Amino acid sequence: GFTNDSGQPKRQEISFDDIGGQGSAIKELKEALDFIKNESEIKRLGIRPLKGILMTGPPGTGKTLMARAAANYTDAVFVSASGSDFVEMYAGVGAQRVRKIFQTARDTAKKQKKRNAIIFIDEIEVLAAKRGQNSSHMEYDQTLNALLVEMDGLKVDDSVRILIMAATNRVDIMDPALLRPGRFDRQVKVDLPDKAGRLEILKIHTRNKPLAADVDLNQLARESFGFSGAHLESLANEAAILAMREGLKEIHYRHFHEAVDKVIMGEKLERQPNQ
Ligand code: ATP
């Protein structure tokens, strides 16, 4: 099922400062969120509410972090699910789950006396592939329709204002109906970080780690071409583990260096079955 933050041990809150190398994506996202915050102006000018933001880009680049930071920024409750949670063998179950997640968002917000809720749907392409493309599965159509109906029903003066943030790395196969104005009409690209971005991310993930004087994060950023944020997080973690194995109090450059190879190897091993 999907998760929300109520009744769970308080998860660490994510802010935009915890996300590296995504300056322009964050700027765009914040603009959209600031727009939402400006409720009285939106009403005065008769602007329709912003309902959906679609984040596109490769895995591990921080799309989930962006959604969590957005919830924090707008003081919203955060409810999340993956597209595959809605795919069921039995007709109507997926659609039911779509309605349920909107209800969960509203109930959780009311309980916590919050005005805003963000529903995050990862891998949205699983439920939102072009209709007809999954023609053997009428079920997908019903599920997608349920999502469209829910989104179309959102109003400026709903007592709980819902924003849907979705993530995909396959925007090309998404049903255009979802991208129409009034649905996911904002798209934010969350790409692999460049060298400066990798440095920012490395700094974030070594904030709480004792580094030896020989650790040159700049050099590491240069050497980790093609790494995602998730790779870099794992790199920092692996390096710390290597230092611990040697019984050292600090992490040295060679640990990071070795960890680069480990992360690349891990990636290759993970991919092998598909090749
Ligand atoms: P997926 O599409 O595979 O779910 P994602 O884009 O949602 O990936 P996240 O789940 O946000 O990626 O990232 C996974 C982990 O990688 C994060 O919890 C964080 O530790 C690290 N990470 C990813 N991107 C960044 C970033 N831009 N800055 C800092 N850390 C990052």
Q: What is the DSSP string of 48-112?
A: PPP-EEEEE--TTSSHHHHHHHHHHHTTEEEEEEEGGGG--SSTTHHHHHHHHHHHHHHHHHHHT
Give pLDDT, residue 235. 96
Q: What is the mean pLDDT of residues 195-205?
A: 98
> Which range, 3-17, 169-183, 190-204, is most confident?
190-204
User: Does residue 57 carry a pLDDT above 60?
Assistant: yes
* pLDDT surpasses 70 at 11: no
Separation of CA 64 and ligand 1 centre (Å)? 6
Residue with CA at minimum distance from ligand 1 atom 9: 62
201 lines ligand 1 (CB under 6 A): yes
With tokens 């194995």, the residue in question is: 245
Query: What's the 3 CA to ligand 1 centre distance in angstroms?
Result: 18
Q: Enter the pTM of the model.
A: 0.90
- Asked if pLDDT for residue 10 goes beyond 60, the answer is no
Contacts of 74 (CB under 8 A, 6+ apart): 33, 36, 37, 116, 118, 163
Give the rounded percent of residues in the chain with a pLDDT score beyond 70: 89
Mutate to test the pocket of ligand 1, among 61, 85, 203 (most ligand atoms within 8 A of CB): 61
Query: Is 229 close to ligand 1, i.e. is its CB under 6 Å away?
Result: yes
* pLDDT score of 275 more than 50: no
Average pLDDT of span 70-85:
95
| pLDDT of 240 | 97
Length of the chain: 275
Position with higher pLDDT, 13 vs 266: 13
What is the structure's pLDDT at 87? 82
Q: For residue range 185-197, list pLDDT tens digits in order.
A: 899 999 999 999 9
SS3 4: strand
Residue 122 CB less than 6 A away from ligand 1: yes
**Average pLDDT along the chain:** 89
Residue 60 CB less than 6 A away from ligand 1 = yes
Looking at per-residue pLDDT, the higher value among 142 and 228 belongs to: 228
Q: Which atom of ligand 1 is nearest to the CA of 18?
A: 29
- The model's pLDDT over 129-180, given as tens digits with 9 standing for 90+, comes to 776 655 555 556 788 999 999 999 998 888 999 999 999 999 998 888 899 9
Q: Which pLDDT band, with edges at 50, 70 and 90, does 128 fall under?
A: confident
ipTM beyond 0.85? yes
